[in-house]
Chains A and B, each alone.
Chain A
Amino acid sequence: MRRQQDLKTLVVLALAILANGAGNLSLSYGMKSVGAPEAWTLAGLWAVVGTALSSLPVIAGGLLLLVFFALFLALLSWADLSYVLPMISTCFVVSALLGNLVLGERISLIRWAGIGLVSIGVLLVGRTGPSGDAASSSAT
């Protein structure tokens, strides 16, 4: 039972992280062709919103982030918040790597260090199990 629950949590976590990464990638790609506002005025910003809403990648990105939020809520319906929140931070790593691999963005040394730390932290939290923190109830 516990095994099955853990597996379900990991699958939904993976789907949420994928949706988040793909959504951010799509948004970032779409917004680059929409371009920065010509002026930081209400009219200038409004024009950007208008163009963005007619861009397919931007709409797809927004929908994927909605899917992410729904999956996040589903996770909270059975798992601990203190488990889900750090685990979902894998999004930062995935976004940084996707930005590097697909959009050709540079990753600085400090950022690599951050990616390494987040990964170590996620592995630690992952060991505690999704609910009731197995690491504190049974010393395994």
Chain B
Amino acid sequence: MTTFLLVGVIVLCFSFGDIALTRGMKQAGEVSSLRLAVLNEVGGRAIRSPLVLLGGALQIVAFVTYLVALSQRDLSYVFPLTATSDIVTTLAARYLLHERVSPTRWAGVVIVSVGIALISAS
């Protein structure tokens, strides 16, 4: 039971962390070239963006919770469960970021998630 609670926290933190990072980076502006001036400018805005910082913080919380979950259960039990976060993130990207997700992309995401679960379950 507690493991499922922990996995829930991990999945939500990863998903909403990624959503915050994406929204923050879209605001910071496109990395349009690899010239130092551009990297400096976009990087500077990214580091000061509250959304990027929030996203980074949520990823750290997810990672620490993941370590706690690992101290209770095997990697091959915990990791496949967290593979569901890709599906949750895609749902969030669809409804919160209004990204267009075609059936082809959906199929790809689901197949990738099952694949990740298999790689880590063995």
Contacts and interface: CB of A to CB of B under 8 A. Distances in A.
B29 interface: yes
Interface string B100-122: 11111101111111111111111
B30 A77 contact: yes
B104 to A, nearest CB: 4
Contacts of A125: 104-105, 108-109, 112
A78 interface: yes
A92 B119 contact: yes
Interface string A66-84: 0000100110111011110
Contacts of B121: 110, 114
Contacts of A128: 102, 104-105, 108
Interface string B16-53: 00110110011011110000000000110010000010
A76 B105 contact: no
Interface residues of B, number: 43
A82 B118 contact: no
B112 A122 contact: yes
Given A73-B21, A81-B19, A110-B122, A117 B29 contact: no
A121 B30 contact: no
A121 B52 contact: no
Contacts of A111: 118-119, 122
Given A111-B119, A115-B115, 11 more contacts: A78-B30, A81-B89, A81-B99, A82-B89, A85-B18, A85-B86, A85-B109, A113-B118, A120-B115, A121-B107, A135-B105
The 9 closest A-B pairs by CB, nearest first: A114-B118, A117-B115, A121-B112, A124-B108, A118-B115, A121-B111, A136-B102, A114-B119, A125-B108
20 contacts: A73-B25, A76-B22, A77-B29, A78-B30, A81-B18, A82-B101, A82-B105, A83-B105, A85-B109, A89-B112, A110-B121, A111-B118, A114-B115, A114-B116, A114-B121, A115-B119, A120-B111, A121-B110, A132-B100, A135-B104
